[in-house]
């Protein structure tokens, strides 16, 4: 079960020959020899006394604290293993007769004399293969024995279950040490930790030595002031040294290892159980009871029990595994008119099994019939938070932003179990060339949040808008009006040699701007097709993402299409001052007094446009009348 590893003797003892190494394996009892080389990673096949992994499950909040999950040196204030020069000549102190040296590979803080003795324990890292205990005397050693016993990770019904194969009930495991020839002044023992002691185990041991050349002939490490009793059901065992194999959990108390939060939150007062349209999410966050850094949570599941309109029991896993924050891979619900209870189990995968199980308390809630506005008659701002980026507050009664700056409008329900059923922005856009109005749907960013982006405006553009929202029962709330305008220069810095332009299509027949216009923009090396914004303007757009695409100085052509008509503009971008290109199309027949220059416009038959009148009527008449109407309309309109 526990055995010396020949390959480890050379660096530890320095005196053992290759012949002695081969002899070590030959003299060990059958089944005690460890593998020839230390594994560098966890194996998937466990070689250990038969034991169900579930038998190593931890207890709840009342369980004893397990070994910490790091590997420090001997705790401050704890006695180290005594050193010095051995002199076995009748001293009553074991450590005056013999010198004990511990070698933990890669852990200088635990090696040499740093290995603590009773009453303190030592922490072996989780994946440490094992360590050597070497005893040196000034007389030949006839026999040496290590007595080993221990306890496994607590279970819900047993705070200190026996370590499989190493029960503290006498007779405890008595394992022979290897006596190193030829002087036989050194005895060695290898604790094969990785093979026989699961993470979370607590191991105790002491040593006895025999010599025919000294008096007394037998000495005991527990036959001194260093004796530390271990209480078990039938009596007391005395230990000189102990070590725990580090677990990923600093405590068997779940609440000290892992924090639990839910969305919406069912904890606190008031609590907010999910409504009939919401899913329920659980989030785990790693903690550390000792105050050190939190270690990743290996694996965890939630066991959910339903009763009421929906019934049943099922389990969902958390992920991503081995992270300090995990959420359910599949959120729960919704389950209207249902009572829900759940608990969480976390564990450490080990050699194909599961060890160090910890269990949360049981949590319960009833699926809520809430979800409507808390103040249905109070308007939108009485029920939802409104946020705008950039903010329009503090900019005076007529906020002015830089041209091309988009405004992100978001709303959020501060009550976790109130859901936004739908939301939209009612807008009116105006500039010197025309106007348009419409509704811009807001996108959901979860059950309690919605947002929409008002695109950056051409220089001189202005927007007035309000927000409307419905709860899950269809109840409508609305905000008041918000407004702002944008003016040159652009709100972003352009790289040298790049500029930006906008374009708008005026529907001569309807006397307004054309929303969502189809366009093609090109130069001598590339071209792209796109759709303008609902507000009635457009500009070069990146292939992916939002905003506008600055273009290199040069010649460009833009073709717009609407109402079965197309019109093309060719021009030059030669500086970084933004400008607007105008197109003139029509959705219906127009009279002579509404003529406008429509260069290259192709109209289908049946529109009834008088070509001669279009050519003869001055453009300024049309613009003068449109400007007067626009100014009058701006003074009148409100959302």
What is the domain-level CATH number for residue 438? 2.60.40.1220
Distance between CA atoms of residues 371 and 448, nearest Å:
10
Statement to judge: residues 516 and 603 lie in one domain: yes
Max Cα-Cα span within the chain: 132
Residue 291's pLDDT is what?
79
Low-confidence ranges of the chain (pLDDT < 50): 1-74, 595, 598-624, 626-627, 629-639
Distance between CA atoms of residues 180 and 73, nearest Å:
28
Statement to judge: residues 15 and 144 lie in one domain: yes
Distance between CA atoms of residues 289 and 252, nearest Å:
10
Quote the distance between the C-alpha of residue 639 and its chain's center. Answer: 43
Statement to judge: residues 475 and 512 lie in one domain: no
Torsion from C-alpha of 43, 49, 53, 59, nearest 10 degrees? -120
Distance between CA atoms of residues 35 and 55, nearest Å:
26
Distance between CA atoms of residues 465 and 238, nearest Å:
81
Residue 7's pLDDT is what?
30
Statement to judge: residues 16 and 139 lie in one domain: yes
Please check whether residue 454 is in contact with residue 463, taking contact to mean a CB–CB distance below 8 angstroms.
Answer: yes
> Within 13 Å and on the Cβ side, how many CA atoms surround 525?
5
Q: Count of H helices and E strands in the chain?
A: 7, 39
Statement to judge: residues 356 and 398 lie in one domain: no
Query: Is 561 a member of any domain?
Result: yes
Task: Pick the last residue of a domain from 489, 514, 544.
Answer: 489
Query: Is 372 a member of any domain?
Result: no
Task: Pick the last residue of a domain from 188, 223, 245.
Answer: 245
Distance between CA atoms of residues 423 and 445, nearest Å:
12
Statement to judge: residues 511 and 482 lie in one domain: no
Residue 580's pLDDT is what?
95
Query: Is 1 a member of any domain?
Result: no
| Angle (CA) 631 635 639, round 5° | 120
Statement to judge: residues 152 and 44 lie in one domain: yes
Locate 502 and state its tokens: 């906008």
Sheet containing 407-412, strands listed edge to edge, beginning at the edge strand earlier in sequence: 385-389, 407-412, 449-454, 443-444
Statement to judge: residues 391 and 507 lie in one domain: no
Number of domains in the chain: 4
Which domain, by its residues, includes 425? 380-489
Task: Pick the last residue of a domain from 457, 489, 521.
Answer: 489
C-beta atoms surrounding 601 within 10 Å = 18
DSSP string, 189-217: EEE-HHHH--TT-EEEEEEEEE-TTSSSS
| Angle (CA) 36 40 41, round 5° | 125
Distance between CA atoms of residues 341 and 328, nearest Å:
15
Statement to judge: residues 209 and 287 lie in one domain: no
What is the domain-level CATH number for residue 536? 2.60.40.10
Statement to judge: residues 85 and 222 lie in one domain: yes
Please check whether residue 448 is in contact with residue 527, taking contact to mean a CB–CB distance below 8 angstroms.
Answer: no
Distance between CA atoms of residues 121 and 445, nearest Å:
51
Name the residue with tokens 């108390």.
253
Query: Is 374 a member of any domain?
Result: no
Question: If we measure between CA atoms, which residue out of 547, 476, 511 comes closest to residue 633?
Answer: 511
Distance between CA atoms of residues 274 and 448, nearest Å:
11
SS (H, E, C) 151-186: ECCCECCECCCEECCECCCCCCEEEECEEECCCCCE
Query: Is 284 a member of any domain?
Result: yes
Query: Terminal CA-to-CA distance of the chain, rounded, Å?
Result: 83
Distance between CA atoms of residues 334 and 602, nearest Å:
56
Strand-pair category, 527-531 with 363-366: unpaired
Statement to judge: residues 467 and 500 lie in one domain: no
- Separation in Å, CA 529 to CA 396, 579, 580: 39, 20, 18
- Separation in Å, CA 78 to CA 109, 203, 242: 13, 18, 12
Query: Is 335 a member of any domain?
Result: yes
Query: Is 239 a member of any domain?
Result: yes
Statement to judge: residues 208 and 164 lie in one domain: yes
Distance between CA atoms of residues 282 and 335, nearest Å:
15
- Separation in Å, CA 455 to CA 14, 241, 444: 76, 71, 18
Query: Is 371 a member of any domain?
Result: no
Please check whether residue 92 is in contact with residue 217, taking contact to mean a CB–CB distance below 8 angstroms.
Answer: no
Please check whether residue 406 is in contact with residue 447, taking contact to mean a CB–CB distance below 8 angstroms.
Answer: no
């Amino acid at each position: 079960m526990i055995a010396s590893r020949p390959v480890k003797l050379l660096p530890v003892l320095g005196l053992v020959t290759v012949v002695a190494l081969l002899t070590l394996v030959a003299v060990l009892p059958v089944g005690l020899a460890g593998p020839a080389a230390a594994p560098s990673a966890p194996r998937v096949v466990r070689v250990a006394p038969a034991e169900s992994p579930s038998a190593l499950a931890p207890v709840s909040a009342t369980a004893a604290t397990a070994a910490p999950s790091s590997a420090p040196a001997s705790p401050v204030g704890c006695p180290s293993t005594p050193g010095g020069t051995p002199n076995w000549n009748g001293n009553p102190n074991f450590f005056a007769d013999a010198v004990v040296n511990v070698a933990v590979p890669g852990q200088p803080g635990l090696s040499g004399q740093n290995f603590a003795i009773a009453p303190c324990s030592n922490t072996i890292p989780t994946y440490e293969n094992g360590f050597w205990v070497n005893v040196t005397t000034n007389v030949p050693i006839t026999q040496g024995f290590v007595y080993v016993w221990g306890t496994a990770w607590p279970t819900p019904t047993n705070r200190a279950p026996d370590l499989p194969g190493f029960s503290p009930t006498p007779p405890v495991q008595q394992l022979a040490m290897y006596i190193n020839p030829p002087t036989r002044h050194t005895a060695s023992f290898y604790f094969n930790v990785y093979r026989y002691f699961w993470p979370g185990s607590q191991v105790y041991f002491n040593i006895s030595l025999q010599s025919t050349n000294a008096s007394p002939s037998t000495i005991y490490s527990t036959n001194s002031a260093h004796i530390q009793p271990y209480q078990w059901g039938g009596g007391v065992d005395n230990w000189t040294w102990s070590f725990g194999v580090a677990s990923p959990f600093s405590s068997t108390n779940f609440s000290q290892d892992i924090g639990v939060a839910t969305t919406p939150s069912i904890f606190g007062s008031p609590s907010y159980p999910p409504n009939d349209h919401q899913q329920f999410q659980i989030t785990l966050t790693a903690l550390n009871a000792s105050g050190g850094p939190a270690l990743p949570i290996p694996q965890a599941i939630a066991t959910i029990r339903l009763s009421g309109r929906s019934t049943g029991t099922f389990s969902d896993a958390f992920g991503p595994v081995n992270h300090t924050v995990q959420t359910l891979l599949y959120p729960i619900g919704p389950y209207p008119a249902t009572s829900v209870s759940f608990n969480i189990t976390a564990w450490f995968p080990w050699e194909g099994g599961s060890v160090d199980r910890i269990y949360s308390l049981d949590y319960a809630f009833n699926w809520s019939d809430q979800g409507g506005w808390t103040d249905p008659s109070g308007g939108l701002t009485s029920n939802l938070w409104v946020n705008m980026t950039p903010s329009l507050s503090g900019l005076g009664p007529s906020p002015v932003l830089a041209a091309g700056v988009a405004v992100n409008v978001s709303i959020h329900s501060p009550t976790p179990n109130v859901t936004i059923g739908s939301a939209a922005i009612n807008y009116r856009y105006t500039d010197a060339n025309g106007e348009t109005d419409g509704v811009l749907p807001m996108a959901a960013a979860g059950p309690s949040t919605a947002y929409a982006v008002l695109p950056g405006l051409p220089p001189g553009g202005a927007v007035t808008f309000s927000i409307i929202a419905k709860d899950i029962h269809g109840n409508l709330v609305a905000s008041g009006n918000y407004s702002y305008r944008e003016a040159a220069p652009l709100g972003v810095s352009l790289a040298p040699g790049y500029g930006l332009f906008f374009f708008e299509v005026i529907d001569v027949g309807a006397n307004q701007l054309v929303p969502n216009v189809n366009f093609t923009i090109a130069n001598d090396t590339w071209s792209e097709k796109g759709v303008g914004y609902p507000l009635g303007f457009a500009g070069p757009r990146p292939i992916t993402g939002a905003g506008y695409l600055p273009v290199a100085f040069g010649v460009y052509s833009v073709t717009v299409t609407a109402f079965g008509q197309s019109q093309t503009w060719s021009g030059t971008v030669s500086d970084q001052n933004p400008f607007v290109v105008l197109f003139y199309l029509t959705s219906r027949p127009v009279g002579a007094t509404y003529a406008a220059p429509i260069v290259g416009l192709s109209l289908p038959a049946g529109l009834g446009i008088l070509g001669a009148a279009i050519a003869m009527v001055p453009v300024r008449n049309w613009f003068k009348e449109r400007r007067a109407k626009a100014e009058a309309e701006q003074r009148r309109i409100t959302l």
